[in-house]
């Protein structure tokens, strides 16, 4: 689900270039004009359910923050994934959530067993989605929330770079800038392929590359000029994820946390028009 969204498009291109072993994939879209051969045309916000029989449902469908965005629809989209899984006989649904459900916790990386404490409407909406889907799932249907960090090319920083906007970074008292958990879109596709093959998944999995990166390093790796600005008192320098549970399930390449590798992955699967 969500194959024509920003992240979904990049993941699909990565899978088309290197199909994941052992998986036969079908993609959902509600836009006939963007559908490719074999796609499932289905509006998850309608009253119908998709046809077919499937073993897993992966939902990357979601509403992200922005002018006029109704982030409360994330619950409706998540519940549509649960309905789709029930209707097609799937044994598990994997739902794209966000690291935003943790809120901000200083310098410590957030673990899956940390209590959720969202401090913005988007994080609160994603948490509500997780809770509603867990409650709605019937016995025998597993629900796994994928709390995803920043995906290179789908994040605000690199989207602003792509649009040619002047770049500024907050500079904190130690002289450094923001530190975030990122993952390249090709690595995200590889991770999702591994998780889709798993029979036994926990309720929550953090998803990012093993080591956080600085936004400064991402901009420098891309040759993007930027200026520093003094970080306001409410700015948060470190927002990161502990991904030990993911590393136990997915063997990351040693370059996965390098900014230039993430940018190369974005270039390989980004929109060209």
The model's pLDDT over 48-62, given as tens digits with 9 standing for 90+, comes to 999 999 999 999 999
**Rounded to a whole number, what is the distance in angstroms from the first to the last CA of the chain?**
23
Q: What is the pLDDT of residue 256?
A: 97
Q: Calculate mean pLDDT across residues 59-79.
A: 95
Q: Is the pLDDT score of 106 beyond 80?
A: no
Q: Calculate mean pLDDT across residues 115-132.
A: 96
Nearest Cα neighbor of 10 from 153, 116, 221 is: 153
Q: What is the CATH number of the domain that holds 175?
A: 3.40.50.720
Q: Which domain holds residue 204?
A: 6-269
Q: How many domains does the chain have?
A: 1
* Rounded Cα distance, 267 and 152, in Å: 10
> Alpha helices of 19-169 — where are they, by DSSP H?
73-88, 121-136, 156-162
In a domain, 1, yes or no: no
How far are the Cα atoms of 19, 84, 111 from residue 189, in angstroms, in the given order? Answer: 10, 21, 22
Q: Is the pLDDT score of 168 beyond 90?
A: yes
In a domain, 189, yes or no: yes
Residue pair 88/52 in contact (Cβ under 8 Å)? The answer is: yes
């Amino acid at each position: 689900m969500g194959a024509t969204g920003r992240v979904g498009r990049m993941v699909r291109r990565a899978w088309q270039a290197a199909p994941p072993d052992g998986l036969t994939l079908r993609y959902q879209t509600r836009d006939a004009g963007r559908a490719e051969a074999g796609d499932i045309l289905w509006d998850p916000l309608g009253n119908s359910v998709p046809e077919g029989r499937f073993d897993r449902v992966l939902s990357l469908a979601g509403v992200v923050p922005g002018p006029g965005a109704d982030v409360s629809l994330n619950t409706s989209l998540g519940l549509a994934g649960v309905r789709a899984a029930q209707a097609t006989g799937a044994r598990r649904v994997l739902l794209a959530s966000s690291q935003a459900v943790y809120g901000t916790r200083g310098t410590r990386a957030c673990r899956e067993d940390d209590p959720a404490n969202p401090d913005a409407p988007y994080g609160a909406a994603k948490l509500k989605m997780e809770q509603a889907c867990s409650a709605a799932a019937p016995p025998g249907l597993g629900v796994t929330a994928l709390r995803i960090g920043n995906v290179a090319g789908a994040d605000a920083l690199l989207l602003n770079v792509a649009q040619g906007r002047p770049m500024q970074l907050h500079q904190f008292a130690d002289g450094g800038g923001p530190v975030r958990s990122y993952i390249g879109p090709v690595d995200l596709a590889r991770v999702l392929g591994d998780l889709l093959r798993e029979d036994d998944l926990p309720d929550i999995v953090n998803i990012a590359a093993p080591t956080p990166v600085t936004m400064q390093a991402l901009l420098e790796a891309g040759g993007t000029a930027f200026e520093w600005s003094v970080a306001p008192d409410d700015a948060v320098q470190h927002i990161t994820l502990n991904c030990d549970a993911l590393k136990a399930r997915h063997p990351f390449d040693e370059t996965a946390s390098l900014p230039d590798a993430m940018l190369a992955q974005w270039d390989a699967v980004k929109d060209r028009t």
